[in-house]
Amino acid sequence: MSFIETKPDSDFSIHNIPFGIISTSHNAAPRVATRIGDFAVDLSVLAQAGLFSSVVADAQGVFSQPTLNLFMSLGKPVWSATRKHIQKLLSASEATLRDNKDLLERAVFPINTVKTHLPANIGDYTDFYASKEHATNVGIMFRGKENALMPNWTHLPVGYHGRASSVVVSGTELKRPQGQRVVVKGEAPQYGPSLRMDCELEMAFLVGTGNNLGEPITIDNAKDHMFGVVLMNDWSARDIQAWEYVPLGPFLGKNFGTTVSAWVVTMDALEPFLVPGPVQEPKPMAYLAESTASAYNINLEVKLKPAESSKYSVISRSNLKYMYWSFAQQLAHHTVNGCNMRTGDLCGSGTISGPTEDSFGSLLELSWSGAKDIQLEDGITRKFLNDNDEMILAGWCEKDGVRVGFGECHGKILPARV
């Protein structure tokens, strides 16, 4: 238990201790923080007071950085020791911080008084296609039930390289993208704003320590290279995507914006929520074969607030445990050819859909490519997103009275640029 009050349903109990980047009105410089309950704790201030000298070399320099990259580059032993040390400092039985009122005033801020920033300098961004339910649904829509999954899908984690420069932190508003799209089937494409704007319910991991070029990360040590996990909304312009994606895959239909949550939840915090993943058939090749549980029981929720309403409607409830290819398998496959990962690289799961209609992770699936209305509060309906619609993704784990969550991943679609 912490001396800082946390509500029972808080995503940010002492069992979590995520890492993020904040700034405040009295100090506009972004720096490293953690969150507990409804408070952000400025780790640079605690480091300046000497409270991390036993666990992080040059802690003041590390925690004064505007991104988590330097801290993430220090490796898993340092991440784990730091998290445990923060838990000790915040515990009700530890007087060091609890009884230092001056330090508390300088280091602890109500969460509604801080600004959060993109947690990492993301050098490269890869998006996978790791949900069998999602891949099957999309395949049925576009190729028919008999050819829903491509022949390679159950043999390897399919992925593509996205655009790192347009990854933004939760709360960032995005303009509706414009591009070529076919408005009437069989006719020539037209240029204009996307008419089929979509969200994608995803999670993503940040690479903590990378690997040398030509030296793969093995399935057995993949978790040691992953720093933590965020919620991710990989916004999609389905009409632009449909016209452009053959033969090289997504481009302008995806790279206009990807939103991630502000607080990175560590792999250590998620460890208690490991569960067996889906049965994989055929049996994965040796470099992808796992001997322990590698899926995470993370409840996921998608909420939509239409522009003409003040109410959010829950439109999907899913779970990361449905993901066919695990994070460890994704990272091992990404590097099996010798590809070198770097600190801060972002790897998205792909849309996480479950086995039932109410667990589908995209509007494309929920509306079945626009054939059905999605029912919202007050009789409002959607097939795809209108201008000024807002989306919130949420995620949390619960077990034996312990809750660990991710906060919100929020975004709003503004009208296209005139």
Encoded tokens for 349: 């799961």
- Please, which residues bridge with residue 193 across strands? 178
In 217-325, beta strands by DSSP E: 226-233, 236-237, 258-260, 265-266, 274-275, 295-296, 299-305, 313-319
Task: For 62, list phi and psi in degrees, rounded to 5.
Answer: -65, -45
CB of 77 closer than 8 Å to CB of 211: no
Residue 137: name the closest of 148, 127, 151 by CA.
Answer: 148
Say which residues have a Cβ less than 8 Å from residue 147's Cβ, sequence separation at least 6.
139
CB of 241 closer than 8 Å to CB of 194: no
Residue 393: name the closest of 310, 308, 309, 314 by CA.
Answer: 314
Return the number of other C-beta atoms located less than 10 Å from residue 54's C-beta: 9
Catalytic residue among 15, 117, 134, 334: 134
DSSP string, 39-69: EEEEHHHHHHTTTTTTTSTTHHHHHTSSSSH
Burial of 315 by CB count in 10 Å (0-12 exposed, 13-18 middle, 19+ buried)?
buried
334 given a catalytic annotation: no
Kindly tell me the number of DSSP H helices and DSSP E strands found in the chain.
12, 26
CB of 125 closer than 8 Å to CB of 334: no
Encoded tokens for 119: 């947690």
- Active site residue ranges: 134
